Amino acid sequence: MTKEEIEKIAPCLKNGPLSELGMKLIEEVNQIPKSISGDVLKTWLTYYIFRAKEEAFKKPGDPTNEILESFQKQTEFIKSFNHLDLDLFFTTSIEEKSRQSIEEIESETGSHYGNLFKNFDADKYFNEATELLKIRLERNGIFPDDISSKTVLDAGCGGGRYSVAWKQLGAQKVTGVDFSKIGIESAKERLKTVDIDVHYQIEDVVNLSFENDSFDIVYSNGVLHHTRDCRKGILEIVRVLKEGGMGWLYLIENPGGYFWDIIEILRIVMQGVDNQIAREALKLLNVPTNRIFYILDHIMVPINLRWTDEEIQDALKEGGAKNIQRLKRGVDFDRVEKIYQKEPFAEMKYGVGEHRYVFTK
């Protein structure tokens, strides 16, 4: 990758506290031969830095020095490793991927999330998402009135966890749609073991097949920032929302503080790493399935856009959204909740926190 390509993925490497050591880390990582062993090494390095960031964030002080120390330690480790004569270690090579078309990127995104979601255990799948959604709705005072009469579209449902959550919270009818065949098949398979009625179908979230004004609630939770046309996707979720209904939109925030700076640096570290190898490498460290999802989610997806509040609100208004409200609260581990609770150095760590919006039409 060229310096320009690197800085496009991780703008924090142009200048700022992480730029110098971040670039040194990437320079050493780029010397690792392309192989199964190399992919495992990059995944473990990513896991170390990801955990170091989390540990630094738990402390009340400025996390900068601790983050930089983790960069320095891993740079020195990889540098020493690259100087060893370990040709035999890298004999099982992996072919470099050629430049992908939009269709191939979409397919890879669907496969990435499909494989992550399908490994969730029953508790994480059926109970956790319901509780998280309930808390986010209640803390922001937006739990829908008379939910038992509402039709819900989960636009970009992935493995269907939040489609199930809406149904378990009492929605009359829930439809979950996603581009990922793996995700939809996994979601349907889950329902065979329980008495929960959710309809799933394969759809392109930036080109929905539904008529205008089709749903009382349209829920798009962390999906459109991974698509080829995020703005078109926003227009679509507003289009299919009924007049007076409730729309929900979650997109990645900009600015995002060290949280997103580090993820973007790790996205460069993991460029070209095989998704399955990365998952298996973390399993070898006994990382739980939900943690594997959380770590690899944004790091390995092909498209990962970050938008400002102004950009999101402009797109919503273009689609005809009204009464746009950016949510100020979340569950305890949400970045926006840590900012709300005035955690020390929260803005340095998390920027503005998650961009979650509700709106009407």
Cα 12 off chain centre by: 19
One-letter amino acid for residue 196 of the chain: I
State the pTM of this model. 0.88
26 with 269: CB under 8 angstroms? yes
pLDDT digits (tens, 9 = 90+) for 304-338: 999 999 999 999 999 999 999 999 999 999 999 99
Going along the chain from its start, the domains and CATH numbers come out as 3-96+257-300 (no CATH), 106-254+306-360 (3.40.50.150)
User: Looking at the predicted structure, is the pLDDT value of residue 97 above 80?
Assistant: no
Q: Which residues neighbour 193 within 8 Å (Cβ) at sequence distance 6 or greater? A: 122
pLDDT value for 137? 98
Q: In the numeric block, which tokens belong to residue 243?
A: 């007049």
The pLDDT of 179-207, averaged and rounded, is 93
pLDDT digits (tens, 9 = 90+) for 60-84: 999 999 999 999 999 999 998 888 7
Q: Which residues neighbour 315 within 8 Å (Cβ) at sequence distance 6 or greater? A: 230, 231, 234, 235
pLDDT digits (tens, 9 = 90+) for 5-30: 999 999 999 999 999 999 999 999 99
User: Looking at the predicted structure, is the pLDDT value of residue 274 above 50?
Assistant: yes
Q: What span, in angstroms and rounded, lies between the C-alpha atoms of 340 and 57?
A: 16
pLDDT digits (tens, 9 = 90+) for 208-238: 999 999 999 999 999 999 998 999 999 999 9
SS3 call for 120: coil
